[in-house]
Structure 1
Amino acid sequence: MAVSVVISAASVKASTVKYMEVLEGRLRSCRCPLLARVWEADLEACRLLTQSLWLQEAGSSPHAEDKKQVDGTGEATWTAALAVHPRPHPEEEKTPWLVFHEGNTHSSPLPHCAGGHQKEESHIISAEVGEKCEAIGTRLLHLEDQLHRAIHSHDEAVFHILSISEVTLQKRV
């Protein structure tokens, strides 16, 4: 059963990485700021998912990509690297939200765990990831509301134009 969980987690991570690459490509070419903000939030959620999966692996056993390092005192510390790091975008390609977001959040460093502190730090980071996920969910709901309002106002504008066209056509007949 544990093997199937590991295989499933690896599959989810691989799919998430592919999806993140697609999102990053779409963000570079996106001309709609509202849609770009939704995709940015989705990309951030994917990053948190990969971090969460890493934390689950780190909690059960050291990951194959982890590097065991020895610090100056000789104590062993585990340094983990996420499979996907956010790719930096040139400044001209950044949306205002992305620039704001990068300036106001400090990405929490990956855990450097020594001895018995690993579980405690893992729980703290898990709680932080949970809080970030809740914030993303709230932000996505807000963006969804904005998108619905934009669609509705666009529909009203189209309806208004069609009704004007209909009146104009009736006057000509």
Structure 2
Amino acid sequence: MFALILAVAVMLMGAGYAYWTDSVTFSNTVKTGQVELAYDTANAGSIEVGPNFNNNAVATGSVSYSEDKKIATVALNNLFPGAIGEVTLVVKNLSTIPVKIKEIKLNSISISNLSKDNFTIGAKVYYGNELIKTFDNILALEAIPTIDEVVPANTDVIVKLTYSMPKDVTTGENGSIKFNVTPTFTQFNEVNEE
């Protein structure tokens, strides 16, 4: 009872007891970058052939893509001594971060009625309009050596493959070559040391 009388007396004197609370909530979201590349199938891989007899399409070629658009298959048919041409493939860099081109492999190579030694495939690799690497004969290598070039996000990588067969080559009829073109990209990592 004494405690109640004391509490009423303190309140009547104008003193009081108050208790306040407050809280702060900190919300944070971290999103990592995304590496995503795919062949541009809208630009279905242009193939130019020549010189051909009377400008008729003697040598022919085609490009097809895997369902996930990660592999391009190039087929060159009806090749003959003196046949030349160019295949242009466009890889869309849909990544949100820069990537590095590691290598571009030619694999699943199938050659019919031709000698691999008498046929060359050169390569030029671009990003945007900038030429970053040139290789004379990647068919002999079966993989372009490590490129290690940084490609900015949302920039296309263009691979131009040139093929040629010397005019003095003796070869069987119905010569053809088919191969897959598989580019390998890695996430770009660089630490600024200051």
**TM-score normalised over the length of structure 1:** 0.27
Q: Which has the higher strand share?
A: 2
Q: Which has the higher helix share?
A: 1
Higher relative contact order (CA 8 A, sep 6+): 2
**TM-score normalised over the length of structure 2:** 0.25
Q: Answer with 1 or 2: which has the greater Rg.
A: 2
